[in-house]
Amino acid sequence: MPCVFHNFHCLFYDLIMNYCECDIKNKILNLLEDHYNEAKDKPVLNYVPKQKLQKQLRGLLTISGSGDEALYNIIKDIVLPYSNNLQSPMYMGHQVPPVLPLAAALDYVISILNQSLVVSRMSPVMTLVEQELISFLAKKIGYDDQSGGTVTSGGSISNLMGLICARNKYFPDNNLSDAVVLCPEESHYSVGKNSFVAGIKSENVVKISCDDNFKTNIAELERIIIELKSKKLKPFIMFANAGTTSTSTFDNLIRIQEITLKYDIWLHVDAAHGGSLILSEEMKHLINGINQADSLSVDGHKMMFMPSSMGMFFVKDENALKSCFDDIYAHYLYNDTEEIIKLSKYSLQCTKRADAFKLWGCLLAYGTDFFAEKYEYLHKMAKYFYSQVNNNPLFETANEPEFNIICFRYAPKNTNLTSEQLDEINFNLRDIVNNSGQAMITLTSLNDVIYLRVTLTNPLTDKEHLTNLLKYISHSLRGILLNI
Ligand SMILES: Cc1ncc(COP(=O)(O)O)c(C=O)c1O
């Protein structure tokens, strides 16, 4: 099979071209094709200060419009050249993948058909596609026929749905004054934000510390639960991580589940990043026990190479989800004489895009092994980069990557530099590397220390790219150190 990350033409362009009648569409798609095919060798970013871009975009919207040609020129001269180039193998930034060209084509099909998944009458085929996708992946998770789920806009909303299911189970009267949310220090920020949205007091969002490998401290989890209960507070949900945002670390789900079961607490696994490993026989040991979670989040638009947005929420007992929204009635929707499927009863949304179709279509065309190979390869590359960094006396790593994110920092042994100076140097390194356009990386703070963060999502990134990245970083470092 040809590498689908390379070949835009056959998978995307032909399909779209069949829809194109007017000139401007053809011109835009030609432009996009050229852009995509050259992206691999182009800079990751043509950095310009945002004020300059703002100036170019300001005041363009008018009553009469400026015409197709003006739009075409803006796409050609501003949108394509100054957007982040995610197809570059030197893009190692946030957890936003290079999209599969086939998924992009299917995204176009979704847009053109514009089926809404509120009720099956509005989406006779796509409703079934979503159900097929959810049930196929639920089996991969290890859930049985009682399970359910829904496609969401991403990990944040899936995490919110877990919280709502748990709240509905433990606080049907909505009296939340004693309700406590438990989450590891390394949780994604959506856990705190969602707790606020769900009506939990901010002081009742309790963080559990993590160990040196950024895994939840199980002993502390139990100790805190006992302490909260002794104060007559009610911890009702624990968010565990299957692939933390900062380091792609996996919690010990089996041990956490023992505790949540013992104290009758809902276990939601935030597997937005690492849940895709259900597709890899070789790597799914990292998510052992995931089938015991009450609910979980898995994102298609992270490690399944889908264009945004595409997330999924799974629940062990479908009734727990359905009972959240079952009594909602809308006479303008639910008025059929024949039995219809109402996916809106499983979702926070009314209008819902048929995003399931792009992942379902890619799984249909390529099979699960295609994805598994990519994860195994990216993990191999992460280990390679980790060893390269560890062998370099200028740098130290935060931990050995379990999956595809490596955190490291400039911190030579016996340095005279203060910790503040080291933080500042690492901070500046990120900007210098990124603004050069040679690579894109991110940074994070671990135990209040700044680390550079490399996320490998592009299966075209190889050892040479990673060696070059370390060279660029070392080169940028020399410039910074000269100015200290
Ligand atoms: C572990 C984890 N959970 C949740 C999210 C939020 O996902 P989304 O951006 O799709 O809402 C992220 C995003 O980075 C994440 O890494």
pTM: 0.95
- Please state, as a whole number, how many other Cβ atoms lie within 10 Å of the Cβ of residue 431: 12
Atom number of ligand 1 nearest to Cα 301: 10
pLDDT at 1: 44
SS3 (DSSP) at 98: coil
CB distance 199 to 252 below 8 Å: no
Q: Which atom of ligand 1 sits closest to the CA of residue 245?
A: 16
pLDDT of residue 2: 45
Q: How confident is the model at residue 43, as a pLDDT?
A: 97
- Does the Cβ of 154 fall within 6 Å of ligand 1? yes
Residue 331 confidence (pLDDT): 86
* Residue 273 CA, ligand 1 centroid: distance in Å: 7
Low-confidence ranges of the chain (pLDDT < 70): 1-22
pLDDT of residue 15: 56
Closest CA to 302 of 33, 43, 86, 15: 86
| Cα 174 to Cα 156: distance, rounded to the nearest angstrom | 22
How many CB atoms lie under 10 A from the CB of residue 120?
A: 21
CB atoms within 10 A of CB 393: 9
Predicted local confidence at residue 9, as pLDDT: 52
442 in contact with ligand 1, CB cutoff 6 A? no
* Contact partners, residue 279, CB within 8 Å, separation at least 6: 140, 368, 371, 372, 375
| 187 CB within 6 A, ligand 1 | no
* CA-closest residue to ligand 1 atom 7: 155
Cα distance between residue 96 and residue 93, in whole Å: 8
Count H helices, E strands: the chain? 17, 11
* Residue 260: per-residue pLDDT: 98
Q: Is the CB of 249 under 6 A from ligand 1?
A: no
* Residue having the nearest C-alpha atom to atom 4 of ligand 1: 155
pLDDT of residue 20: 47
From 183, 185, 190, the mutation candidate for ligand 1 (largest count of ligand atoms within 8 A of CB) is 190
DSSP 268-301: EEE-TTTGGGGG-TTTGGGGTTGGGSSEEEEETT
Cβ(248) to ligand 1 under 6 A?
no
DSSP assigned state of 176: -
Atom of ligand 1 nearest to the CA of 308: 10
- Eight-class DSSP state of 327: T
Taking CA atoms only, the protein residue closest to ligand 1 atom 5 is: 155
| Residue of 183, 197, 273 best suited for mutating to test ligand 1, as the one with most atoms within 8 Å of CB | 273
Of the candidates 268, 289, 256, the residue with the CA atom closest to the CA atom of residue 169: 268
